[in-house]
Amino acid sequence: MTPIIQGTQLTKSYGALQVLKGVNIMVNKGEIVSIVGASGAGKSTLLHILGTLDRPDSGSLIIGDKDINRLSERELAKFRNRHIGFVFQFHHLLPEFTALENVCMPAYLMGKSDAEATKKAQELLQFLGLANRMNHKPTELSGGEQQRVAVARALINQPDVVLADEPSGNLDSDNSRELHKLFFELRNQFTQTFVIVTHNEELANMSDRKLVMKDGAMLPSQ
């Protein structure tokens, strides 16, 4: 097993509120790990730190072979766009752009040509069953379709890890099941690594490992 994420003694406070209290986490390449726990346990804060959207107050974070604490803000932004994909509960698609254009955005940020970005985006949308929806804008897509476009966008730069925060929280049970199945297909097809914060017990139990957080700490594995 090759670790892709190693977080050691991660802490984070907002004012007097300590949200993370020395969290240790290790995720291996190609693994699907879910993080569960009550609201306020620190799950989303941990995910934001693992995604380099926020920095810990103390502790170390290694992603791949990079020590995240040593990167400048500029290096961090570049690293994030190249190595990490995000899927959120609310898909955050840009309403004025088509599904295809939305998926291409991170590739453009990485300096890919229009032809290269479009080709990769088309392949992903096809794989996700959206071949005939590429030129539709978000308002013309169902909730499940919008979330699959968001997944394609997260995958376009072939990131080392995809972080998902309540990805099925906004979907009905059928679409949730489809999305969950999709994560496993993507892992099998692309050896994709997923870290998923979820309240969905079904998804959590399908994962390779389920980590439980309580009051800013990671409970020992069962």
Residue 76 burial (C-beta neighbours within 10 Å; 0-12, 13-18, 19+): middle
pTM of the model: 0.84
How many CA atoms lie within 13 Å of 2's alpha carbon, on the beta-carbon side? 11
**pLDDT digit string (tens) for 64-81?**
888 988 888 888 888 888
Q: Assign residue 40 a region: left if phi > 0, alpha if psi is -120 to 50, beta otherwise?
A: left
pLDDT in tens, 11-65: 999 888 888 998 999 999 989 999 988 887 888 899 989 988 888 999 999 998 8
CB proximity list for 8: less than 8 A, separation 6 or greater: 24, 59, 60, 61
Give the integer Cα–Cα distance in Å for 16 and 29: 36
Q: Which residues pair with 84 in a beta bridge?
A: 161
Contact 160, 193 (CB under 8 A): yes
pLDDT of residue 50: 92
Domains and CATH numbers, the chain: 29-55+70-212 (3.40.50.300)
Calpha distance 184→187 (Å, rounded): 5
In this prediction, residues 74-89 reach a mean pLDDT of 84
What pLDDT was estimated at residue 24?
92
pLDDT tens figures, 175-220: 777 778 888 888 888 788 999 888 888 778 888 899 998 888 888 7
* pLDDT value at residue 6: 92
Q: Which residue has the higher pLDDT, 42 or 92?
A: 42
Number of other residues whose CB lies within 10 A of the CB of residue 178: 15
| pLDDT-derived band at 91, boundaries 50, 70, 90 | low
Indicate whether 92 pLDDT > 80: no
pLDDT of residue 195: 92
End-to-end CA distance of the chain: 20
| pLDDT score, position 90 | 65
Q: What is the pLDDT of residues 101-134, one digit of tens each?
A: 999 988 888 788 888 889 989 988 888 788 888 8
Question: pLDDT per residue over 126-176, tens digit each?
Answer: 887 888 888 999 889 887 888 888 888 888 888 889 898 887 776 677 777
